[in-house]
Amino acid sequence: MTRYLVRRAALLVGTLFLASIVLFVLLRLLPGDPANALLSVGATPDQVAAARHQIGTDRPLPAQFGHWLSQLATLHFGTSFVSSLPVGPEIVSRLAVTVPLTLSAFVLAVVVAVPVGFLAAHRSHTWYGALVGVVSQLGIAVPAFWLGLLLIWVFALRLRALPAGGFPPDGWAAPGEAVRALALPVVTVALVMAASLIRYVRSATLDVLGSDHLRTARALGSSFVGAMWRHGVRNAAVPVVSVLGIELATTFLGAVVIESVFALPGLGSMLVRGIAQHDYPVIQGVLFVSTLAVLVVGFLADVAQRLIDPRLRGRV
Amino acid sequence: MSLLSVSELSVWTADGRALVNGLSFSLPPGRRLGLIGESGSGKSLTTLAVTGLLPPALRASGSVLLDGTQVIGARNLDGVRGRVAAVVFQEPSTALDPLMRIGRQVAEPLRRHQGLRGAALRAAVAASLDEVALPARVAQAYPHEISGGQRQRAAIAMALACRPALLIADEPTTALDVTVQADVLALLDRLVAAHDMALLFVSHDLAVVGQVTDEVVVLSAGRAVSSGPLHEVLADPADDYTRSLVASARRLDAALDLSRDVGGAA
Amino acid sequence: MRRRVFLVAGIVLVGLVLAVALVSLFWTPFPAADTTGGRLEGPGVHHLLGTDKLGRDLLTRLMIGARIAVAVGVGAVALGAVLGGVAGLLAAFANRWLDDTLAALLDILIAFPTLLLAMLVVAARGASLASAIVAIGLAMSAIVARLTRVLAKRVLAMDYVTAARTSGVSWPRIVVAHVLPNIWPTLAVNLALQFGLAVLAEASLSYLGLGPPPPNASWGRLLQEAQSTVLTAPVGAVAPGVLLVVLVVGVNLLADGLRDVADPTRRGHR
């Protein structure tokens, strides 16, 4: 197991490196000179050259890349071209919004999806099972931002129970308000994720319910509940865990839109701003952190899968 | 008093087709019965119907009395399954939980039916594996780490751990390599005799059924077409299907004899 | 039986939206840029679904939105299918080392969600219908490429391909005669699903202000504009969303129906 962990961690670092190259190249392919964002219209070529020198885009590409890599190694994300403020601390403060949002939504989605998906599979021939099927079909077709909009309409504007957007300026120093600010966004993201998860849970449960080994357990006198608990849960978890990793990663990066709906100061809005301003350090920093998060989640999901399923342990 | 009493058993699909039609037979304690038929004759469905394990899309009618308990329409058969009748299925690669070690899977019925715990349980697991000629280290292995024949032996050990009065074997050797089939069959024969169990043996292979049972019921398209002591059925087949079954078995035998005479022993 | 109902329902839903989109090419109740209606009027005789905050007819804008949605869906999927299909096929034939590198690259690209990739492309080219199609199409091509590669490799490993090679059949002929016929059913189902994802991605892009600009704007843009006035004019915030759901559900049902047709072993399955 340790050998696998080491190898997998090495793969993670390697992929991260590869991803940072891709990131770097993609950004440099964008037309438009960031130096222009710093200057007013009608700047002289000298001023443009000076601006370029100031932000470092006049150096050869490999030098720029090397510079960025060395910064990363010390967990420095450079300074914004536009605001000259360090990127790192801003990312950290925005993570304080995005991470709780993503994790809470994830937990809520799992808590909802597992029992619903299980029941939908177990009672697949009843109206209940069919209803869940219909609801989840609708659920994966609903755009997250529309759902957020509707929730704002009902709960924030009509019922006045929760804020329509924004995050307290003190952040988590005012925990009650922070939680209230995140309530609707969390529910929105959780519902969208749950709609997708329910289908996977349902499918995995159906497979287990029809499986031969469950039949063996019952044939030897095990009760349905006992057999599902001892054998069903673990077997159903295998395909679901692999999907959970991807879903969590997608949610983290998809928070961009939700933050826009609810005017939350998270990573997503930072990224949108950075893209609009061609602010390379900001874009690079946010995307790097996001990629790192995605890869780490993938790593954890892989390890979890290996822990559950002994058939995967043979391969390293 | 019969251990297993089947009367007019029929298995229906959702659109009213009968996959098993009006099947009747009975099995006293300690006796052996073979159920022969080709694929699609309904023999596997019969074993599922008898233990109340039909898939939800199928429905059974008629009467199945397992040690006096009516199986058809019963809400809860947990107390009857395993204790009265235990099943060994055809496909060993899917019949065992792939995520659980063999030892734990054998321990489960031991714990439930013999009430063993702790050190006594561990000893019983070792004894169970020994009884089916599996080495002790198999207890630590996962199903994918052992061979098909070993998996089937483990399945037999699990069934025996229930100390059932009736062992139902549904094509237990069909999915195994030919070289392994004879061993597993002999093992079954010996253990059923040693534990004084009744045996319901299902197969498409006349020769295999002949080795372990004395009485047979021949199924064709869901109906019983002949039944009775094996040698009688073989000597004087009452219907066409049984006749063709016997005839092909005889042809195979004759071919084997010929090759033995000509080419030397196999 | 239930399967057939789903397939028909899917065709009906998609057909409805397609019909509206086609009609919008020739006729809409009002010209797209017309702002003569009163602001934020409710549904009425002149404007069947009311007007938006600049006085434009909502029904007209919805019809144009249908056109955009269909265009993006078809365009992005077509682009993704061609680029991804070719890339995937090439990867399937490549030698081990090259193939592994490509697979790793594809996985990285796929890890970036469609929306982010699309944002980068739109930032480069400016917001327009073409940008949206290119952006989403590029993102889709990575997914299509990975699927094509996996499917093609599976076919290439089959015995009948080896048999064809040993009897001297050329590679291009093998692709046409064996690989493509075997992979296109699964691919087609997948592409149908991607259509729905493309429509949703474009809606998100437009919501963020990175999609085709008004007046020929998409449903996502309509929702973004309606957000600030949802309390007083709910129709504008509800109708575009409903249409999005209708289109995507329709396409998904179609894809499910196609799946059962494409893979006969699944018929009669739960």
Q: Tokens 């809409």 label which residue?
A: C28
Among chain C residues, CA nearest to A30: C124
pLDDT band with cut points at 50, 70 and 90 for residue C215: confident
Instruction: List the single residue in C227, C230, C244 with the smallest CB-CB distance to A143.
Output: C244
CB proximity B109 to A under 8 Å: yes
The tokens of C202 are what?
């474009």
Q: Over the stretch B209-260, which tens digit does the pLDDT of each residue have?
A: 888 998 999 888 888 888 888 888 877 777 777 888 778 777 777 777 776 6
C-beta atoms of A222 and B162 within 8 A = no
CB proximity C109 to A under 8 Å: yes
**Which residues 172-211 of chain B have a CB within 8 Å of chain A?**
none
Computed from CA positions of residues A276, A279, A282, A287, in that sequence, does the dihedral angle turn out positive or negative? positive
C-beta atoms of A19 and C108 within 8 A = yes
- Give the C-alpha separation, C252 to A141, whole Å: 8
Instruction: List the single residue in A219, A231, A310 with the smallest CB-CB distance to B87.
Output: A219
- pLDDT higher than threshold 80 for residue B101: yes
Closest-CA distance, A138 to chain C, in angstroms, reads 6
As a whole number, the mean pLDDT across chain A is 84
Instruction: Tell me what the mean pLDDT of segment A55-79 comes to.
Output: 76
Q: Over the stretch B3-19, which tens digit does the pLDDT of each residue have?
A: 899 999 999 998 888 89
Q: Specify the range with the lowest mean pLDDT, choosing from A158-172, B158-172, B191-205, C28-42.
A: C28-42
- Give the C-alpha separation, A106 to A187, whole Å: 10
Among chain A residues, CA nearest to C233: A153
A38 Rama sector, left if φ>0, alpha if ψ -120 to 50, beta otherwise:
alpha
Buried b (16+ CB within 10 A) or exposed e, A246-268: bbbbbbbbbbbbbbbbbebbbbb
Which amino acid would we find at residue B1? M
Report which DSSP code applies to A228. I
Instruction: Tell me what the mean pLDDT of segment C162-176 comes to.
Output: 82
CB proximity A210 to B under 8 Å: yes
What pLDDT is stored for residue C268 in this prediction?
Answer: 42
**Rg of chain A in Å (alpha carbons):** 24
Whether this model's ipTM surpasses 0.95 comes out as: no
C-beta atoms of A153 and C120 within 8 A = no
Instruction: List the single residue in B55, B56, B99 with the smallest CB-CB distance to A235.
Output: B99
Q: Over the stretch B148-168, which tens digit does the pLDDT of each residue have?
A: 999 999 999 999 999 999 999
- Give the C-alpha separation, A82 to A64, whole Å: 18
Instruction: List the single residue in C115, C223, C234 with the smallest CB-CB distance to A146.
Output: C223
Q: Which chains touch C (3 or more CB pairs under 8 A)?
A: A
Instruction: List the single residue in B95, B142, B162 with the smallest CB-CB distance to A212.
Output: B95
What pLDDT is stored for residue C265 in this prediction?
Answer: 56
Instruction: Tell me what the mean pLDDT of segment C263-270 comes to.
Output: 48
Q: Over the stretch B35-57, which tens digit does the pLDDT of each residue have?
A: 998 887 888 899 999 999 998 88
Mutate to test the interface with A, among B59, B108, B110 (most CBs of A within 10 A): B108
Partners of residue B100 in chain A, C-beta under 8 Å:
231, 234
Q: Specify the range with the lowest mean pLDDT, choosing from A97-111, B103-117, C115-129.
A: C115-129
Q: Over the stretch B117-141, which tens digit does the pLDDT of each residue have?
A: 999 999 999 999 999 999 999 999 9
Partners of residue A294 in chain C, C-beta under 8 Å:
111
Partners of residue A235 in chain B, C-beta under 8 Å:
97-99
What pLDDT is stored for residue C199 in this prediction?
Answer: 94
CB B143 within 8 A of CB B91: no
Buried b (16+ CB within 10 A) or exposed e, A24-46: bebbeebeeebbeebeeeeeeee
Q: Specify the range with the lowest mean pLDDT, choosing from A128-137, B156-165, B185-194, C114-123.
A: C114-123
C-beta atoms of A145 and C245 within 8 A = no
B217 versus A47: which is more confidently predicted? Answer: B217
